[in-house]
Structure 1
Amino acid sequence: MTQARVLVVEDEVKIAQLLREYLEKAGFAVDALARGDQAVEWVRRHNPDAVLLDLMLPGMEGTDVCRELRQFSQVPILMITARSEEIDRLLGLELGADDYICKPFSPREVVARVKAVLRRSQLKPAEGSALKIGPLHLGRETRRVCVADQPVDLTPTEFALLQVLMSRPERVFTRDELLMQVQGYDYAGYDRTIDSHVKNLRKKLGYHGIDDAIGSVYGVGYRFQLPEPPQPHP
């Protein structure tokens, strides 16, 4: 079985070594870079299975690296930083990161998060091979989403979120339910994570003309809204 390959982009040598040690013990192949401006081309050339990306890096900040990676790759990205303010978390997630880990962290937790995001990106299809609602088509086996045959590029987390919502149209999911079903673990009360992923998903679907598919239920969560049937002319 081929080892999953993880790229660690971290300029603090001790932290990079610690992450490498724990990830390799968990069975991953690990590469490490210390500069942000090296990461984009490296990912383009080597196509890793996941990226652990520090926010504050020499050469190019992690947010800019994340933004550039999302121009051509949907590789799972986990951002790591000492900046724990909510605005920093939301910025990273809205740029397309799949997860966010604050320093100081437990190396075992990082390994668990990497495993969780890889499970989401490699999930086997559940019952049925596809979901189709109106022009929106989600292929469970192909892991492709299309609107009227036009592909929509989603991160693994966005794909998992859309799959959960489309599987039960009109059913209201709380943020906690979505966190558990999409992320696979509890975020210790940080439920704004789901809000950021929903915002990104709405933006991408809206670009293809699907503007109102994901509805908000104030104080509760989200649901996938079936399109209104056309009204007969009087």
Structure 2
Amino acid sequence: MIKALIVDDNKQITEVLKSFALKEGIQVDLAYDGEEAWNKFQDNKYDILLLDIMMPKMDGYELLKKIRKISMVPVILITAKGEDYERIMGLDYGADDYIVKPFSVAEVMARIRAILRRIDIDTNSIKVVKVDNLYLNLDEYSCKLDNKEIQLTKREFEILWMLAENKDKVFIRDNILDSLWGMEYFGDTRTVDTHIKRLRAKLNSEKNKWRISTVRGVGYKFEV
């Protein structure tokens, strides 16, 4: 059975989310501050986490950073603020998705379903993509450039993997959203642009014989 940890200091919100998750067949643990959530995370195995950003004792950003040091479990951030820089900060820290209050519980459940569908990955064999000085390992979600480890978020890695595995194939933004975020994603294509911008910044090297190219008015491709 799928097991989720829902973290929010608003007990009304956690109870509503829990009731809907149970209807989806998801087992749920609740926590009401960052420290309680961290303790539960260390003592249990979860398939997905929903984290409020503004919490007592330890906020969602700090909790997410601690989690990402030891786990790539999918994380959806919940925030009452909708500023771009806050969403970008959450994605930089390793969030898989974010949702802004007030939200539709049905939308939250749809995003959970979309993420859970994507994490069913065959790990029976090591999957590797190597292009010149770039090395990607899907089993480890690891990226190396010029033999140096590059820290990518889960979503950044997945976008890079999709592009590098299909060299010279053009992916429109909607295709990337559908493949990685799911058909039920409610955001816009600027999310893809933000991730591509950060990938380019992290992977910039004069030694590169490849690049992530923009196909104007269409999308992106991995060009050698």
Q: Which of 17, 22, 25 is matched with 1:24 structurally? A: 22
The 1:136/1:38 distance shift into structure 2, 3 A limit, reads same
- Structure 2 residue aligned with 1:66: 64
CA RMSD, Structure 1 to Structure 2 (Å): 3.0
Alpha-carbon spacing, 1:201–1:99, altered in 2? closer, same or farther (3 Å): same
Tell me which residue corresponds to 1:76. 74
The SS at the match of 1:185 is: coil
Alignment of 1:190 with 2:188, yes or no, is yes
Asked if 1 retains the 8 angstrom alpha-carbon contact of 2:143 and 2:152, the reply is no
Please give the alpha-carbon distance, in whole angstroms, between the structure 2 residues aligned to 1:119 and 1:211. Answer: 34
1:163 to 161, 167, 171: 161
Amino acid at match of 1:96: G
Counterpart of 2:90 (choices 77, 89, 92) is 92
The match for 1:49 among 34, 41, 47 is 47
Q: Per-residue displacement from partner, 1:126-152 (whole Å, max 9, x unpaired)?
A: xx9543323544455x35445388776
Tell me the equivalent position of 1:104.
102
Name which of structure 1's ranges 161-170 and 146-155 shifts more when overlaid on structure 2: 146-155
C-alpha distance in 2 between matches for 1:158 and 1:178: 12
Residue 72 of structure 1 aligns to a residue in which SS? coil
Deviation (angstroms), 1:121 = 2.2
Correspondences of 1:85-164 after superposition (within 5 Å): 85-124=83-122, 130-139=128-137, 142=139, 144-147=141-144, 155-164=153-162
**How high is the sequence identity, in percent, across the aligned residues?**
37
Structure 1 counterpart of 2:95, which letter? Answer: A
**For the structure 1 residues 205 and 38, does the alpha-carbon distance in structure 2 shift closer, same or farther, using more than 3 Å as the test?**
farther
**How far 1:117 sits from its partner (Å)?**
1.4
Q: Which SS does the other structure have where 1:101 is aligned?
A: strand
Is there any run of 5+ residues in structure 1 with no aligned partner, and where?
227-234
Q: CA deviation at 1:82?
A: 1.8
Q: What runs of 5+ residues in structure 2 fail to find an aligned partner?
A: none
Instruction: Flag the 1:206–1:171 CA change in 2: closer, same or farther, 3 A.
Output: same
- Matched positions, count: 220
Specify the alignment match of 1:231 in structure 2.
Answer: none
Return 142-151 or 114-123, whichever deviates more: 142-151
Aligned to 1:6: 4
Give the whole-Å Cα distance in 1 for the aligned partners of 2:19 and 2:122: 29
Q: Contact between 1:96 and 1:155, CA under 8 Å: does it hold in 2?
A: yes
Q: 1:120 to 1:150 in 2, by over 3 A?
A: farther
| Cα distance in structure 2, aligned partners of 1:211 and 1:182 | 26
Q: Counterparts of 2:116 and 2:149 in 1: how far apart (Å)? A: 22
